[in-house]
Amino acid sequence: MKKENISQNNHDWYKPMSFYQIWVRSFCDGNGDGIGDLYGVYDKLEYIKSLGVDGIWFSPIYPSPNADFGYDISDYKDIHPDFGDLDQFKRVLNKAHSLGLKIIMDLVINHTSDEHPWFIESRKGKDNPYSDYYIWRDKPNNWKSLFEGEAWEYDPIRGQYYLHIFAKKQPDLNMDNPKVRQEVKDIMRFWLDMGVDGFREDVINFISKKEGLPDGLSFLPAATGMSHYKDGPHIHEYLSEFRKVCNEYDCFQLGEGPMTTVNSAMKYLTGKTKSLDMMFSFDHMMADCLYTEYLHRPFSLIKLKKAFTKWQNALNGKAWNALYLENHDHPRIISRYGSEYFWRESGTMLAASYIFQQGTPFIYQGQEIGMTNIKLMSIDQYMDVSSITNYHTYHLKEDPERRLHRIHLSSRDSARTPMQWNATDNAGFSKVKPWFYINPNYKRVNVAKEEPDSLSILNFYRKCLSLRKSSETLIYGQYTEHFPKDKNIYMYERSLDDESYLVICSFSRFPVKAHKPPKFSGCHGELVLCNYPDMKTDPHAGIVGNIHLGLNEQELKKGYLRPYETRVYRYIRRR
């Protein structure tokens, strides 16, 4: 891409930025009741700023009965009393803005809680003003819920079934009703008028259902019906209404698009139907599983690279990627695509594997210190509705130990353990026993321990973010993958005019040789980032844990990479 084009097509303020995602319940407890809250967030804003990010995405912080921990909302215009109140939110918002941090809210409009006043009214009967706010039928179709069995639940008060694509306590809103869309627009204005800077829109590609709700087919039972509610018939029409609201403000919209293909994503991101600035895609979350982490398969670097490159190439110059490896819905990335043994090495390498791609990086709380999956002893200790359903629904013939192992690999609860701030009691998260289990590794993996260590995962994230920010090439440059068939190394280039960055990531636990792409042969690149100490100056550079890698400086010069090593080189081409 030529530099001249940057200012014309890429003026959007969110492009050079990066974001930090907070799942408040587990971030920091400020008032000593064992639950993370907005008082804790307030106190940690300087820490967030110190990472080099430019904004925060809050997972839902509204009143919620917590059937799906905030994604079942009972009041869209207030704050959950566990987290504080609207005044405390405004304090957080003002302080964040004064630090130069944007605030993005979660907009969950596919469904509400069954305890939302609209649903309480709607179930009273067909002549109620809220009667058509939800999707009611006398007879269910064959759709399945993604979280809990059938997608329909009989309501004895109304004498009909309501649709719930997620949990029973998450009835789907009827977006075909213009009054419901008006409510959505009011909610958006409520938060935008208060000063928030945009929305992350939950399962946004599910909100328009096919007329008549016909029976569906699926190769996966839980997805039965999905082809009739994913990218539904009126989706772009409805989203264009919401886009108009956003256009009145200086804000951005980021959609979550479960199971979306790159082709259908382009309709949301470009052209006449453009209604979103970015989309969270899922293809790269399936390099070790099929469709959901519960259907686990061995990690395949080739699958990961294909997914990355498919989205990078398709969106290049036309749309903008939202980059992530973790959030509150997926297990921890080191435990999945890296190695808990090569914890520091793989945690740092994984950072470089995505932050330097084209797009806006998102970092999930705890990812920046390398938090890993928790392994609880019994399914009864898990709290996430989808983990509990999965355990009791699939692979029932396997022994309980094996099934629990699947939960260890897949549970969303691994991303929801309290943030590990230091090595004191309760990991510094709270003065009292927290609402959920703390990962027993907190004495080794915590912010306080990593702060002073120049090689820590925490400080590597800081280096990546500041390097990205310092370079227009790393923000806007063209993406090119090299050696896509290599089973151990992911190598990509970002280039703009005569400058190129080459990002090399080893996904191997053994030393492997990296080849130089032919276009760089004979060129000397400057090493600008590496996650290992320098061989020349550090006697420990060839040792990981107590393993001597058996590599010497000569071999490193020949292009050998240490386990999970990452290196970023900068090249300037002579004209």
Q: How far is CA 2 from CA 6, 8, 100, in A?
A: 7, 11, 29
Is 115 assigned a catalytic role?
no
Q: How far is the CB of 429 from ligand GLC (least distance, A)?
A: 21
AA letter at 9: N
Whole-angstrom distance, CA of residue 83 vs CA of residue 90: 13
Q: Does 199 bind ligand GLC (CB under 6 A)?
A: no
Q: Does 108 bind ligand GLC (CB under 6 A)?
A: yes
* Candidates 202, 326, 345, 486; catalytic one: 202
128 binds, among Ca ion, ligand GLC, none (CB under 5 to 8 A by kind): none
If you count DSSP H runs as helices and E runs as strands, how many of each does the chain have, helices first?
17, 22
Q: Does 293 bind ligand GLC (CB under 6 A)?
A: no
Ranked by CB distance to ligand GLC, the top (closest) residue is 71
- SS3 label, residue 381: helix
Q: Does 31 bind Ca ion (CB under 5 A)?
A: yes
Is 202 assigned a catalytic role?
yes
Q: Does 202 bind ligand GLC (CB under 6 A)?
A: yes
Of 206, 193, 192, 197, nearest in space to 239 by CA = 206
For 517, the token pair is 């792409």
Q: How far is the CB of 37 from Ca ion (least distance, A)?
A: 4
Q: How far is the CB of 407 from ligand GLC (least distance, A)?
A: 17
Q: Does 153 bind ligand GLC (CB under 6 A)?
A: no
Q: How far is the CB of 364 from ligand GLC (least distance, A)?
A: 11
With beta carbons less than 8 A apart as the criterion, state whether 323 and 360 touch: yes
Q: How far is the CB of 384 from ligand GLC (least distance, A)?
A: 9
**For the residues of 24-44, what is the DSSP string, one character each?**
GGGT--SSSSSS--HHHHHHH
Q: Does 363 bind ligand GLC (CB under 6 A)?
A: no
- SS3 label, residue 111: strand
Whole-angstrom distance, CA of residue 569 vs CA of residue 362: 23
Q: Does 201 bind ligand GLC (CB under 6 A)?
A: no
37 binds, among Ca ion, ligand GLC, none (CB under 5 to 8 A by kind): Ca ion
- Of 135 and 530, the one with the shorter C-beta distance to ligand GLC is 135
* Candidates 148, 256, 277, 345; catalytic one: 256
- Of 108 and 445, the one with the shorter C-beta distance to ligand GLC is 108
Whole-angstrom distance, CA of residue 419 vs CA of residue 312: 31
Q: How far is the CB of 147 from ligand GLC (least distance, A)?
A: 7
Size of the site for ligand GLC (CB under 6 A): 10
Q: How far is CA 557 from CA 136, 424, 460, 554, 562, in A?
A: 67, 43, 23, 5, 12
Phi, psi of 391, deg, nearest 5: -60, -40
Q: Does 286 bind ligand GLC (CB under 6 A)?
A: no
For 53, the token pair is 């990010």
108 binds, among Ca ion, ligand GLC, none (CB under 5 to 8 A by kind): ligand GLC
Q: How far is CA 320 from CA 21, 59, 254, 284, 469, in A?
A: 19, 22, 10, 16, 16
Q: Does 41 bind ligand GLC (CB under 6 A)?
A: no
List 16, 33, 142, 481, residue binding Ca ion (CB under 5 A): 33
Q: Does 29 bind Ca ion (CB under 5 A)?
A: yes
Q: Does 329 bind ligand GLC (CB under 6 A)?
A: yes
Question: How distant is the alpha carbon of residue 526 from its chain centre?
Answer: 32
**For the residues of 404-448, what is the DSSP string, one character each?**
HHHHHHH-GGGGSSPP---SSGGGGT-SS--SSPPPGGGGTS-HH
- In the shown chain, the binding pattern of residues 52 to 91 toward ligand GLC, with x for contact by CB under 6 A and - for none, equals ----------------x--x--------------------
- Of 280 and 354, the one with the shorter C-beta distance to ligand GLC is 280
With beta carbons less than 8 A apart as the criterion, state whether 240 and 181 touch: no
- Of 34 and 563, the one with the shorter C-beta distance to Ca ion is 34
35 binds, among ligand GLC, Ca ion, none (CB under 5 to 8 A by kind): Ca ion
Contact positions toward ligand GLC, by CB under 6 A? Answer: 68, 71, 108, 166, 202-203, 256, 258, 328-329
Contact positions toward Ca ion, by CB under 5 A? Answer: 29, 31, 33, 35, 37
Active site residues: 202, 256
